[in-house]
Chains A and B, each alone.
Chain A
Amino acid sequence: MSDCGFRMEDSRQGPVPVFRLTLGAMLCAAVLVLAAPGLALAQADGGATATETAANPPAQAASVWEAVLFYIVGGTVALTALGCVLSTNIVRMATCLFGTLGAVAILYFLMAANFLGAIQLIVYVGGTLIVIIFGVMLTSKSPWVKFNPRPVELLAGGAVCGLLFAGLAVAMWGADWGRLTPNPDGFEVAHIGWSLLTTYLVPFELASVLLLAVMIGAAYLARPERGE
C-alpha cells in the first residue's frame, strides 16, 4: 500500500491537544486581563464606569502596570520583528509581521491613542496584511521555497544595521529632549475629526485623491491579459 503520509508515531490519542489549547486560551485570557488595566489607566476619566469611581489605584501602581505592559508588549514587538528577520519562509514572515502590527496597536492603546490603535488594527492588520498575504499566495510556487542570500550579504547587512541600531540607541539614551509636556489622557475622537477637517484639510483631500489614483492604478496593473 502506498505511503499516504500518515505515520503511526505521528498520531496521538486522548486529550493532549486539549490541555495545550486550554493553556493557550488561558494565556490569551491572561494577556487580555493584563491589557485591560492598561487600557483603563490610559483612559480619560470618561472611560471609567460608575462602579469604578471609588476604586482607582494610586499613581505609582498605575505606572508600574504601564511599565509591565510596555515591557511585555514591547518585547513582543521586538521578538516578532526579529522573527521577520530570521525566518526564511515567507508565510512565517507574514505571520510575524501580523504579530508586530498587533503589538504596535496595543502600544498605541497604551499611549492613549485609542482611535489610532483601532485604525491600525482595521487598516493595517485587516487590510494591508491581507493584501500582503494574498501577494504571498499568488506569487509562491510552493509553501517551502526558500531564497537564501549569500553569507557575505548577511554579514554586511547585519553589520550595517547593527551599527545603526547601536548608534541610534546610544544617541537617544543620552539625549536631552528639552521641555517635556506629556499628555497622558489622549484625545477625543471628535477632536481628531475636527482637526482633520480644519488644520489637516489639505493632506486629507490629497490623501483621498491619492487613494483614487492608487485604486485606478492597481486595477489597471492587475487586469487580466487581453489574449495578445
Chain B
Amino acid sequence: MAEFSAEDALRSPWNPAYKDRAIRLFLVLAGLFVAVAVVGWLALSLLGFGREPLVLLLVVIGPLLTGAGMFGTAMVIRHHAVVGGLLKRLALPIFLGGVVGLVVAIWVIALLYQYVDGIEAAQSESARQVFTWFGGPLTVGEIQGYLTGGPATRGGWWGVPAVLLWPLQFQLVRDIIGVVGVVGFVSLVAMVAIWGERKVSADMQSRLGPMRVGGWHGWAQSMADGLKLIQKEDIIMDGADKPLFRLAPYLAFVPALAAFITLPFGTYWIFRNLDVGLIFILAMLGIEVVGVILAGWASNNKWSVYGGMREACQMVSYEIPMGLALLVPVMIAGTLRLTDIGELQSGGFHTWLVFSNPFVFAAAVVYYISSLANCKRAPFDLPEAESELVAGFLTEYSGFRWCLFFFAEYAAMFVVSGLATILFLGAWHSPLPFSWAQAWWGADWSQWTLWQKALGGILFSGPLWFVAKAGFLVWVQMWLRWTLPRIRLDQVMYACVQVLLPVTMVLLLGASFWGLLVKPGTLVAQITNAVLTLIGAFFVAGFFAIAAYGYRHRRRLVGNMSIEALPGA
C-alpha cells in the first residue's frame, strides 16, 4: 500500500508556496478582461454602437466588472491576514446586513414585478400585438417611454433601467430569480438550523455549544463547517458502485428542494400554485427514500445497507399516517390547493384549522409525530444512530456529499413544518384577524400604500409569520430530539402500524361523520371551536410562562458554571 508521505502533502493546492502562483494568475486574468473591455469599447464606438445599453453591458461593463473581481481576488489572497482580521470584526454586521438585505431584495423584486405588470397593463391594444424577436410584448423602448413619461425611444441614460426591467416580463426570468431565491433560502435555513441544533442541544445539556467562530455565540460555525467540508478529500471506497454512490446525494437533495415549488409562503408568494400542491409535496418527500436506499446500497458496507433498509422501511411506513392525517384538514377545506387552505384561516386565532374539530386537533399531533419519523429525527433516528450503526447509510459519505444529505434533511424538516403550519396552524396569518386590517385601511389590500402593506405584513399576514411559525416547529423538532431517548426499530414499526395507523383511520372516519352531521355555524361547531381555542391558547400561554420562568431563574436551574465568561460569550 502506498504511504501518504510529506511530499504528497506539499503537492496539495492549498500549499502556501502556491499562493504566489495564484496571485499572478489572477492578475493576468484581470489584465486580460480589462483589455477585452477597452478593445470592445473602442470597436463599438468606431462601429457606432456606443450607445446601445445591452451591447455595452455584454462587451464592456461585464468584462470590466469581471476583471475588477479578479484583481480584487488577487489582492485578497495577497493580504489575506489583514482581510481575515477585518472579516472577523465585521462578520456579524455583514451577515445580519445580508439577511436583512435578502428580505428587502425579495420585497423590492416583488414590487418590480408589479411595476412591470403595470406597464404591460397600460399598453395600448395596438402596441400589445407587436412581439419582439424574443416573443415578449414589451420592448425596451416602451419601458423607457413609460419611465420618462415621453415617447417610446431607445438609447441614452434612461435606457439602463429600461434594459434592466425588460427581462422581468418573461416568466422564465422570474422563474430563475425564484429558483435562486429558493435555493438561497434553503441554504440559509440549513445553515441556521445546523447552528441552532448545536446551540439548542447545548442549552438542554447545560453546556454552551459553539462559542468562538465569528464572535457572538459562534454564529459562523455553520459557515466554517461548510468551508471545511468543501475542501475535504473525495473518498470513494474500492468496491463501491461509483455512479450510484455519486448519484445518491442528488436523489435525496433535489426532491427536498423541489418540494418548495408548491410550498406557499403567502397567498401570492408561491412558485407554482398547483391544484394538487399538497400531494406534490408528499410525493417529493416520498422520493427521498430512493436516495437513502441507494446511498446505503452503493457504499458496499453492510452497516450502510442495514441502515439504508431500516431507513427506507421506517420512512415508507410513516408516510401512510402522515398522508392520512393530512387528509383530515383537507376534508374541512375541501381543496388540495395550499393557498386556498391558507386563505381559509385568515380570520384570527380561532379560525385556525386545528381548532375547528377535535379530530383535526388529534390529526395535528399524529401528523407531527409521523413527520418526525419521516425526517428520521429522534426519537426515530435509528438509521442514523451514532452509537449503533456507525452512521447508518451515511457511513461512507464524507465532505460535500455528506453536507448535501444534511442539507436535504434540514430542508425536509422545514418542508414538513411548513406543511403543518399551513394545514393546521394558520399558515401565514397572525392571530389577529385580517378583517381588522381591512377595517383600518380599506377592503382591497392592493390599494393600500407601501407602508400600510409593510405593516400589514408584519402585523396581520405575511411570509415572515409563515417562516416564524415553521421555524418554531423546527425548533420543537430539535427540542424533542435532545429530550427523548431513541426507540428500537420494532418499537418504531409497532408505533406506526399498531398505534398511529388505527388512530388515523378513526380520525378519518370521525372527521367524515363530523363533516356530515355538524354544519359550520351551528351551536355545536361554535362551542367545539371555542373549547379547542381555549385549550390552544392555554398551551401557548403556558409555553411562554414556562419559558419566562426558566429565563428568570436560569442561574438557579442551570448552574453558574455554564454562564461564566468564556472567550466570546
Q: A residues within 8 Å of B by Cβ? A: 1-8, 10-18, 21, 24-25, 28-29, 32-33, 36-37, 39-40, 43-44, 46-55, 57-58, 60-61, 89, 91-92, 95, 98, 102, 114-115, 118-119, 121-122, 125-127, 129-130, 133-134, 137, 143, 188-189
Name the distance in Å between A2's Cβ and chain B's nearest Cβ.
Answer: 8
Q: How far is the CA of A25 from the CA of B298 in the complex (A)?
A: 20
Are B399 and A17 in contact (CB-based, < 8 A)? yes
Q: How far is the CA of A83 from the CA of B407 in the complex (A)?
A: 30
Are A126 and B283 in contact (CB-based, < 8 A)? yes
Q: In terms of DSSP, what is the predominant structure of the interface of chain B?
A: helix
Are B400 and A121 in contact (CB-based, < 8 A)? no
Residues of B within 8 A of A95 (CB): 244, 247, 294
Are A29 and B179 in contact (CB-based, < 8 A)? yes
- Which residue of chain B has the shortest Cβ distance to A61 in the bound complex? B135
Please judge, given known A-B contacts A49-B273, A118-B283, A130-B289, whether A54 and B241 are in contact too, CB under 8 Å: no
Residues of A within 8 A of B272 (CB): 36, 39-40, 47
Closest 10 CB pairs of A and B: A126-B286, A121-B283, A5-B238, A8-B2, A118-B279, A17-B234, A54-B117, A61-B135, A122-B283, A54-B120
- Which residue of chain A has the shortest Cβ distance to B286 in the bound complex? A126
Q: How far is the CA of A182 from the CA of B401 in the complex (A)?
A: 45
Are B300 and A143 in contact (CB-based, < 8 A)? yes
Please judge, given known A-B contacts A32-B261, A122-B282, whether A49 and B268 are in contact too, CB under 8 Å: yes
Cβ-neighbour of A51 out of B238, B249, B268, B309 (below 8 A):
B268
Are A55 and B268 in contact (CB-based, < 8 A)? no
Please judge, given known A-B contacts A10-B236, A95-B244, A129-B290, whether A17 and B276 are in contact too, CB under 8 Å: no
Please judge, given known A-B contacts A11-B233, A17-B401, A126-B283, whether A91 and B268 are in contact too, CB under 8 Å: no
Residues of A within 8 A of B110 (CB): 51
Are A121 and B286 in contact (CB-based, < 8 A)? yes
Q: How far is the CA of A125 from the CA of B250 in the complex (A)?
A: 16
Residues of A within 8 A of B237 (CB): 5-6
The reply on B113 being an interface residue by CB < 8 A is yes
Q: How far is the CA of A142 from the CA of B115 in the complex (A)?
A: 62
Q: B residues within 8 Å of A by Cβ? A: 1-2, 4, 8, 12-14, 110, 113-114, 116-117, 120-121, 131, 135-137, 169-172, 174-176, 179, 183, 230-231, 233-239, 241, 243-244, 247, 249-251, 253-254, 257-258, 261, 268, 270-276, 279-280, 282-284, 286-287, 289-290, 293-294, 297-298, 300, 305, 309, 312, 316, 319, 323, 335-337, 399-401, 404
Q: How far is the CA of A55 from the CA of B120 in the complex (A)?
A: 8
Q: How far is the CA of A79 from the CA of B528 in the complex (A)?
A: 57
Are B274 and A122 in contact (CB-based, < 8 A)? no
6 of the cross-chain contacts (CB-CB < 8 Å) are A10-B238, A33-B172, A36-B175, A47-B273, A121-B280, A134-B312
- Given A53-B117, A54-B120, 4 further pairs, Cβ under 8 A: A6-B238, A11-B233, A28-B254, A130-B312
Name the distance in Å between B162's Cβ and chain A's nearest Cβ.
Answer: 17
Residues of B within 8 A of A115 (CB): 276, 279
Please judge, given known A-B contacts A28-B254, A133-B290, whether A18 and B400 are in contact too, CB under 8 Å: yes
Please judge, given known A-B contacts A36-B271, A125-B287, whether A18 and B230 are in contact too, CB under 8 Å: yes
Residues of B within 8 A of A28 (CB): 250, 254, 257
Please judge, given known A-B contacts A37-B172, A125-B290, whether A8 and B4 are in contact too, CB under 8 Å: yes
Residues of B within 8 A of A53 (CB): 117
Q: How far is the CA of A110 from the CA of B287 in the complex (A)?
A: 19
Name the distance in Å between A146's Cβ and chain B's nearest Cβ.
Answer: 13
- Which residue of chain B has the shortest Cβ distance to A126 in the bound complex? B286
Residues of A within 8 A of B309 (CB): 134, 137
Cβ-neighbour of B401 out of A11, A21, A46 (below 8 A):
A21
Name the distance in Å between B517's Cβ and chain A's nearest Cβ.
Answer: 20
Are B244 and A92 in contact (CB-based, < 8 A)? yes
Residues of A within 8 A of B235 (CB): 6, 11
Are B117 and A8 in contact (CB-based, < 8 A)? no
Q: How far is the CA of A5 from the CA of B236 in the complex (A)?
A: 10
- Which residue of chain B has the shortest Cβ distance to A52 in the bound complex? B171
Name the distance in Å between B234's Cβ and chain A's nearest Cβ.
Answer: 4
Name the distance in Å between B406's Cβ and chain A's nearest Cβ.
Answer: 14
Residues of A within 8 A of B253 (CB): 25
Residues of B within 8 A of A40 (CB): 171, 272
Q: How far is the CA of A63 from the CA of B254 in the complex (A)?
A: 27
- Which residue of chain A has the shortest Cβ distance to B176 in the bound complex? A33
